[in-house]
Chains A and B, each alone.
Chain A
């Protein structure tokens, strides 16, 4: 077990603030929390996220901008579909819940918690969410409640994250269900497995947050269903369809990764004391020498894998840093090359131009055999 080296949480917060520098904190969102599960072995990402650093900006600053941006067509389509499902107090949604999922809803009270008028502060909106969830829960098995844009909170590594309210929580027959509206299509019952997985992980964030809120009110975790409701367009039309997605696994993985965030203290303690990702020149204008910022990045340990290219804003920087390493060629490649981390060493061992050190004897034997078989086959084919 790790011993906490620094004296307490306050120190860590101060340390993270120094690492972030003068830039404003990037707060966690459901998406960044979900991302905790995509490469949880990466210390670099753990430190940057804990410090609330804008990775997109940082990557661009050091010359490895992440190709970003969503197509305007995708955004338009997403918004149109959501509006359609939510039209008339979510009438279409309620009909689907009844028809497709057997959750008949006779009369539902509908509340929209979007920041329109009144107290639009995060705290205020969360307080309203809190009150309405409490009322709904207190009603027991009676009464159906549909909360649109509820603002939930989740403690992430000692900080409170407010979760972007792009979902609906619906309470039916005494249980809350998380409803997510996504604009990818379900065609003949099948949808893109990666998109469903992303939706399931995000839903799991909300399940955890809602369970947290209900736990404060004295309700058990079973008050929130393990199955999230996914609403998507069906086939090639805009007609919505509903599917239940079991998110138990995602909830457990997330809970595990959230519980591991305390290790950020250890990671930070091991970094150079003056490390910072401040891009400013001291006068608040980005002007810090790029080489310095790169140096700061190199001081944190990344665990780059090609899959990062789809998932992390810093991936192109990390890929460049990882050139010449076997792991950069694929998660399984290093394993297949006997665990030898450097490409140059792999080739030297395979060709026998370098003697293996103690731990590498077996790897070297494997590589030499592979090199022999490869050379033999290529020579015979000539």
Chain B
């Protein structure tokens, strides 16, 4: 596979022409330092090294001697970044701004280079101060020359408004394929305004600064060669990316014997091709469809029971897939609870969560309860492309999708009646189309439940 020409392309061990984060970084920093733009956006597809970029950029900016702030959206993201920054920027103290009730996890407490403070005055001499957007929004009266804003597609425009006066210039990093931020109120009072507070921070930023440079990380180091083209085509139609590994470089192997059942066939198909659609008979079911939920749990358990090994560029000799390397994803919390109830003690280490909470995480094998499984009509929630994108892009090796038959018919019968608003850029990909594309791929990897 030959990818698009990318400036500063490096060459990976496998001989594929790919760009690493370090190849993209100089151009990003050059734009940021040029003085021509107050901001630079970096779009990062799943597993393309977004955190690495953030950490490297922070290290470079801090090395210039200017103080710097880093903004992310959740405490977990901040703790992860704090750890990585502390490990990467050896000569700086990382100040971690935290709310009153924040309890530092062990990975923060173990690092003396990370100092936790409730307010800025608690963090004197910290060259890099890091905190959630919500926390930064309570800080005022100071302007930093630089900021790095991470997971900026998860951030709402009104939150950016609250923190944007804290910095002169900023690097905005995020994954455009993820779930959009949402609001609990449903009004169209602001639709069409360039500063609509319900839009994502990036949408508002770019509508005011159409000339702002947008860089793209062009290689997914997470998604295998079997997944990157599928995910890119379905969810990133205008920002294609490719896998950092070639076909065959990532392999799954089941060491224990097959029972000969359909679930084993699905696990084997996924091991061989990276994908499996485990199809249950068509039926209009309740959301917590017991058959589908138990199938999700059983497939995950079969991966363990079959003594599955992963071979990859990290582990060419092969390592077992352990429970902590498996995730099961679903759309709703009640579905998560239902799936968990079928896992039993053997599966207690397996992650089960909603798409929202799986954002940014990575596993070897994932099992996905298809959001449209058992539905007769698709709601906007079920069709949201970001939801399916998150679920279909968490894996390094294989993804098994559990669904009742009938989804293609449901999609074809879906009425197209959404209102269209003036001056609101159309969002791509459209959920309906992304679902069609994903389904037509999955149908080639179908195993029918027996």
Residues on A facing B (Cβ under 8 Å)? 37-41, 186, 189-194, 196-197, 200-201, 230, 243, 245-246, 248-250, 252-253, 256, 260, 303, 305, 307, 327, 331-332, 334-335, 338-339, 341, 359, 362-363, 366
Contacts and interface: CB of A to CB of B under 8 A. Distances in A.
Contacts of A253: 416, 432
B121 interface: no
B141 interface: no
Nearest to B191: A190
User: Which 9 residue pairs are nearest across A and B when measured between Cβ atoms?
Assistant: A41-B413, A193-B419, A339-B284, A37-B416, A197-B420, A196-B420, A246-B426, A253-B416, A362-B286
16 contacts: A37-B416, A37-B417, A39-B413, A40-B415, A41-B415, A186-B422, A189-B192, A191-B422, A192-B419, A197-B420, A200-B420, A248-B426, A305-B415, A327-B376, A339-B285, A362-B288
Contacts of B421: 190-191, 193, 196
Interface of B: 188, 191-193, 283-290, 374-377, 379, 409, 412-423, 425-426, 428, 430, 432-433, 436
Given A190-B192, A243-B423, 11 more contacts: A37-B417, A40-B412, A189-B192, A197-B420, A252-B430, A253-B416, A253-B432, A339-B286, A339-B376, A359-B285, A362-B289
A363 B286 contact: yes
Interface residues of B, dominant DSSP: loop
Contacts of A191: 421-422
A341 B284 CA distance: 9
Nearest to B429: A249
Interface majority SS on A: helix, strand, loop or mixed?
helix
Select the residue from A186, A189, A201, A305 with max chain B CB neighbours within 10 A.
Answer: A189
B416 A332 contact: no
A246 B289 CA distance: 39
A334 B376 contact: yes
A78 B417 CA distance: 23
A250 B416 CA distance: 8
B423 A189 contact: yes
A338 B286 CA distance: 5
A327 B376 CA distance: 10
A332 B317 CA distance: 51
A266 B430 CA distance: 29
A193 B420 contact: yes
Contact of A362 (B285, B430, B432): B285
B419 A196 contact: yes
A335 to B, nearest CB: 6
Contacts of B287: 335
B416 to A, nearest CB: 4
Nearest to B430: A249
A11 to B, nearest CB: 24
B189 to A, nearest CB: 9
A230 B422 CA distance: 10
A335 B420 contact: no
A190 B422 contact: yes
Contact of A245 (B191, B290, B413, B420): B420
A307 B377 CA distance: 13
Contacts of A196: 419-422
Contacts of A41: 409, 412-415
Given A193-B420, A249-B430, A37 B415 contact: yes
A51 B420 CA distance: 31
B417 A307 contact: yes
A192 B419 CA distance: 8
A165 B417 CA distance: 24
B425 A246 contact: yes
Contacts of B285: 338-339, 359, 362-363
Contact of A197 (B412, B419, B423): B419
Nearest to B426: A246
Contacts of A40: 412-416
A37 B414 CA distance: 8
Nearest to A341: B284
A332 B425 contact: no
Contact of B426 (A37, A186, A249, A339): A249
B286 A197 contact: no
Q: Which of B289, B290, B377, B425 has the most CB of A within 10 A?
A: B377
Contacts of B428: 248
A213 B191 CA distance: 36
Nearest to B433: A252
Contact of B415 (A39, A245, A359, A363): A39
Nearest to B410: A41
Nearest to B378: A331
A339 B290 CA distance: 14
A40 B139 CA distance: 53
A210 B409 CA distance: 29
Contacts of A250: 416
Contacts of B414: 40-41
A243 B423 CA distance: 8
Contacts of B374: 339
B415 A38 contact: yes
B217 to A, nearest CB: 25
Nearest to B338: A362
A357 to B, nearest CB: 12
A193 to B, nearest CB: 3
Nearest to A230: B422
Contacts of A201: 416
B376 A335 contact: yes
